[in-house]
Amino acid sequence: MAESTLTTTEKVVKVEKEPLFGKTEKKLLLDPLGDTNPITIQVLGICSALAVTSLVYPSVVMAIAVVFVTGFSSLFTSLVRNKIPKQVRMIVQLVIIATLVTIVELTLKRYNYPIYKQLSVYIGLIITNCIVMGRLEAYSMANRPWRAFVDGIGNGVGYGVILIMVAVIREVFGKGTLFAGSPIQMNIIGASNDEMAYLINTAAESGFGSLFAGYTNNNLMVLPAAAMFIIGVFIWIQRSYRPTLVDVS
Amino acid sequence: MSTSYVIRFVMIMTAGVALTLALLSTSWKDQTKLNESIFNKRAILGAVSDYLSEDPKEMSDDKVVEIFGSKVQQIALDMSGNELEEADIKAAGYKGGQPEHIDMAKEKKKPEADRIFPLYVFNSDKGKSYILTVRGNGLWDEIWGNIALKEDLNTIAGAAFDHKGETPGLGAEIKDNPTFPSRFKGKKIFTEDGTYVSVDVKKTGGTAGNPYAVDGISGATVTADGVDEMLERGIKYYLPYLNKQAGAQKSKG
């Protein structure tokens, strides 16, 4: 009896391993810079955008903190997304966010105490920043870890870019300096005499010269209301360029 | 998902999170405490920036610690002007036992008679100065400051202020605008006949020739009034000790 040897030719089906940084990832990273910007289009995270942006240096620190928190909370949430009991879904998300924010606080306290003192309340408020929770609910709970991470980073960067742009306008016109309070402080416009606040570099030292020496600081720029106006203008400009976005949100 | 699963999940998550944060916090505690003390020392030196070769804000951490260690003598006082020992400071709740550990925010909550506070005697090449620490209320939250007196225990050598939540551009100017604290230089707290008057922060009226008043900040009336009150009350706490010192000085000279 001939044993029928069943030979199964295994056709090795090569599952195309998805590239680490393919089209989806690129979209996740770049869209929040424009079409799905957390602040100007999704209109989230406005509170900290108003409060922190009076100076550029704290805004940069804040932006980095939010990128870190949004990225890693998205990553961790996605990793456990199938294991979270639905009864405590939001609580678990909050715990993840709060833990990461606490890590940021501890790190700042350890490595840059003066900035920690300056930003103390605002860092804690990242927990309440709608962008973080928003991305967890909208993307991380339904997508794989790497993509969730990229999405978190993308949204954090989108937020950070707007934050820094607003801060540059507010600081230059409100105080005449850039990066005041940091090691790379520069004096941009305004008279360099003792009566002007925040001036530490003289015109000669700053290398920019004192442009428009007669400029008097615009005190409205120092108040959070100015950030609101500036963001409003950004929203206006963005939607003028892309009319398709006009009725979004 | 069963209830027991939910409970297990939550317990494991809580334990994991608590462990991570506790580990981080403990391993960084020493450096963080050091950072805090350097921050406070820098603020205190801010009151005597004229006596230093560098602006305290620009100084390196090591330099701040070095100057404070070598040139600053720390004394703790009570409301009657008595100098306190390390044991007294520890008894008041400060484990470190040094005057620099006294938390003015904590003291402010105690009844006035029970408060203790630090005094820093700065021995520079340009002369001795006495740095007082005061704390009060601004518009939104607390404000505090360090005032340095010259050797005559009357003329102000410098001042530095800080706040918790004053409005930027208005009340926050007490800290952000270097011209505000500099107005106090050269002002006096005692009149010619020895009456304590502190320094007023005035809203209107010129203060050019007046050694007992400085200009306020437009739009920041409540904060400026807060500074006025903070100085008047805060410096008064030190008077028993300062009068003792002045008496000793007179008997020496």
A57-81: pLDDT as tens digits: 889 999 999 999 999 999 999 999 9
Interface ipTM above 0.85:
no
| A184-224 tens-digit pLDDT | 777 777 644 334 434 433 443 444 445 566 677 777 887 88
Chain B residues close to A84, C-beta within 8 Å: 9
**Contact (Cβ atoms closer than 8 angstroms) between residue B44 and residue B120:** yes
B205: helix, strand or coil = coil
B23 domain-assigned: no
A80 domain-assigned: yes
B1 close contact with A: CB closer than 8 A: yes
Owning domain of residue B121: 72-252
CB contact under 8 A, B14 and A95: yes
- Flag whether pLDDT at A41 surpasses 90: no
**Contact (Cβ atoms closer than 8 angstroms) between residue B176 and residue A197:** yes
A→B interface, C-beta within 8 Å = 54, 83-88, 91-92, 95, 99, 102-103, 106, 109-110, 113-114, 117, 174, 194-195, 197-198, 219, 222-223
Which residues of chain B from 188 to 247 reach within 8 Å of chain A, CB to CB?
none
Average pLDDT over residues B192-209: 84
Structurally, chain B folds into a number of domains equal to: 1
Chain B residues close to A88, C-beta within 8 Å: 6, 9-10
Chain B residues close to A184, C-beta within 8 Å: none
A64 domain-assigned: yes
A7 domain-assigned: no
A93 domain-assigned: yes
- List Cβ<8 Å contacts ≥24 apart for A115-122: A115/A57, A115/A58, A115/A61, A117/B39, A118/A58, A118/A181, A119/A52, A119/A58, A119/A61, A119/A62, A122/A48, A122/A51, A122/A52, A122/A58, A122/A62
B4 domain-assigned: no
Residue B135's beta-bridge partner residues?
B144
Name the DSSP letter for residue B166. Answer: P
CB contact under 8 A, A103 and B179: no
Among chain A residues, the shortest Cα distance to B2 is held by A85
* Average confidence score pLDDT of chain A: 82
Strands of A133-243, DSSP E: 177-178, 186-187
Structurally, chain A folds into a number of domains equal to: 1
The Cβ of residue A230 has, within 10 Å, a number of other Cβ atoms equal to 22
Q: Considering CB atoms only, which of A106, A195, A222 is closest to B179?
A: A195
Q: Report the pLDDT value the prediction gives residue A199, as an integer from 0 to 100.
A: 43
d(CA A61, CA A64): 5
Mutate to test the interface with A, among B7, B8, B10 (most CBs of A within 10 A): B10
Strands of B70-170, DSSP E: 72-78, 116-124, 127-137, 142-149, 156-163
- The band of B23, judged by pLDDT with boundaries at 50, 70 and 90, is very high
Q: Report the pLDDT value the prediction gives residue A209, as an integer from 0 to 100.
A: 46
B157 domain-assigned: yes
B176 domain-assigned: yes
Contact pairs from chain A to chain B, CB under 8 Å: 64
B232 domain-assigned: yes
B40 domain-assigned: no
Residue B131's beta-bridge partner residues?
B120, B148
Average pLDDT over residues A86-103: 94
B43 domain-assigned: no
Average pLDDT over residues A76-92: 92
B178 close contact with A: CB closer than 8 A: yes
CB contact under 8 A, A86 and B9: no
Residue with structure tokens 């610690």? B65
d(CA B217, CA B204): 10
B30 domain-assigned: no
Residue B115's beta-bridge partner residues?
none
Name the DSSP letter for residue A138. Answer: H
Owning domain of residue A162: 23-168
Q: Considering CB atoms only, which of B13, B35, B176 is closest to A113?
A: B35
Tokens of B28: 């960084």
Chain A residues close to B39, C-beta within 8 Å: 113-114, 117
- The band of A12, judged by pLDDT with boundaries at 50, 70 and 90, is low
B192: helix, strand or coil = coil
